[in-house]
């Protein structure tokens, strides 16, 4: 149970704010693990700090405790409850006990059932003072995506679409966004473990769907393609390139499946729903089970409309370009905008100018 705010000092809040800022610095880059900030304080001075490593390991506590030897009798500030379970690494509670820290203050309880509300008892039994609830409202925002996926057991979904001022898109491969909008897209790709699209988008545009910001290439997402009848072209970039690609299908075409598997593509059979389409919720559950907890949707308006109807999109980025599209090359997306206005999950909106492009962020 969280303690009242008046049980914490100004210095406690100061150190926790630093821990929260540390956690934000790696948010989106720690895989299925949450990004945690850790600050170690002794005699009112910061003696060490850590944040969850890229791709999730080592954890923040391990990174902080391994920097110096004189941890004994220190106070450790954490944005999230320290883990208590054995996974690929030993629990962080064991590391805290071994370091003989005096006090642990964490902001938010972990929603992972393996740890939730268990660390306090374990640490207290070793005479370590434990407090929780410090700046928890700030931490709830930090772990919004993580808590959603843990609770619903599907990835946190973000969608994007680029259009003209008059809500039109090209009906071919032509580019509509400026360089700044494209850079934001690459940042979004780097911050999501997977990128969801359809075989139609692959066959029409042959996109790379990777992160091409210098130094961020290692954060390119896993490509996840919905292709009920395995109509994806054999010579497309998604198949010929070595980046991880997954295809969900309901086909019995053994020749195509053998070709895809021999090309390093992972394929998963999914049952059709009543509309003779692949069951999207089954796909999302499977993606979560694989260990992917965040997805960016990059597809055509038809699939986006379907996903909005299912009400599974948590955030939406709409890039409105200043350029004009010839009428012969346009597709109208007013229906998408109407759906956005009706979706309760996407009730808030922030506008940002990217030179002459306008970015509308619905969340």
List the catalytic residues. 61
Contact criterion met (CB below 8 Å) for 31 and 56: yes
> Can you read off the two tokens belonging to residue 169?
């898109």
Report d(CA 37, CA 18) in Å as an integer: 8
Could you tell me the two tokens for 149?
Answer: 């996926």
Tell me the helix, strand and coil percentages in the chain, rounded to 5.
35, 25, 40
| CA distance linking residue 62 with residue 191, whole number of Å | 23
DSSP, res 272? B
- Cβ pair 124, 102 in contact under 8 A: no
Give the angle 22-28-86 at the CA atoms, nearest 5°.
80
Tell me the backbone φ, ψ of residue 46, rounded to 5 degrees.
-75, 120
Q: Following CA atoms 37, 42, 45, 48 in sequence, which dihedral angle do they give, to the nearest 10 degrees?
A: -40
b/e string for 52-73 if b means 16 or more Cβ within 10 A?
A: bbeebebbbbbbbbeeeeebee
CA dist 136 to 1, 3, 132, 141, Å?
A: 12, 10, 8, 9
Question: Phi/psi zone of residue 82: left (φ > 0), alpha (ψ -120 to 50 degrees), beta?
Answer: beta
């Amino acid at each position: 149970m969280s303690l009242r705010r008046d049980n914490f000092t100004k210095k406690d809040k100061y150190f926790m704010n630093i821990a929260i800022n540390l956690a934000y610095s790696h948010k989106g880059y720690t895989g299925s693990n949450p990004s945690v900030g850790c600050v170690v304080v002794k005699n009112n001075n910061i003696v060490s700090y850590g944040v969850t490593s890229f791709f999730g390991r080592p954890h923040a506590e391990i990174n902080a405790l391994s920097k110096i030897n004189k941890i004994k009798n220190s106070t450790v500030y954490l944005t999230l409850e320290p883990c208590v379970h054995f996974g690929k690494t030993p629990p962080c509670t064991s590391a805290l006990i071994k370091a003989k820290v005096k006090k642990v203050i964490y902001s938010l309880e972990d929603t992972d059932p393996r740890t939730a509300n268990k660390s306090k008892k374990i640490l207290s039994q070793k005479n370590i003072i434990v407090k929780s609830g410090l700046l928890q409202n700030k931490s709830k925002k930090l772990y919004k995506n993580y808590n959603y996926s843990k609770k619903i057991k599907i990835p946190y979904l973000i969608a994007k679409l680029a259009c003209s001022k008059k809500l039109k898109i090209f009906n071919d491969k032509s580019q509509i966004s400026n360089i700044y909008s494209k850079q934001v897209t690459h940042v979004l790709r780097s911050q999501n473990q997977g990128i969801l699209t359809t075989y139609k988008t692959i066959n029409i545009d042959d996109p790379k769907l990777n992160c091409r910001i210098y130094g961020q290439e290692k954060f390119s997402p896993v490509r996840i393609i919905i292709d009920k009848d395995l109509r994806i072209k054999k010579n497309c970039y998604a198949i010929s390139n070595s980046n991880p690609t997954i295809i969900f299908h309901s086909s019995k075409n053994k020749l195509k499946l053998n070709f895809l598997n021999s090309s390093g593509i992972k394929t998963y059979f999914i049952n059709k729903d009543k509309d003779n389409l692949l069951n999207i919720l089954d796909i999302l559950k499977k993606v979560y089970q694989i260990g992917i907890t965040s997805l960016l949707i990059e597809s055509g308006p038809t699939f986006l409309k379907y996903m909005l109807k299912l009400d599974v999109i948590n955030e939406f980025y709409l890039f409105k370009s200043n350029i004009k599209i010839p009428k012969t090359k346009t597709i109208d997306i007013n229906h998408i905008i109407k759906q956005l206005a009706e979706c309760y999950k996407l009730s808030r909106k922030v506008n940002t100018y990217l030179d002459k492009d306008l970015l509308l962020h619905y969340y």
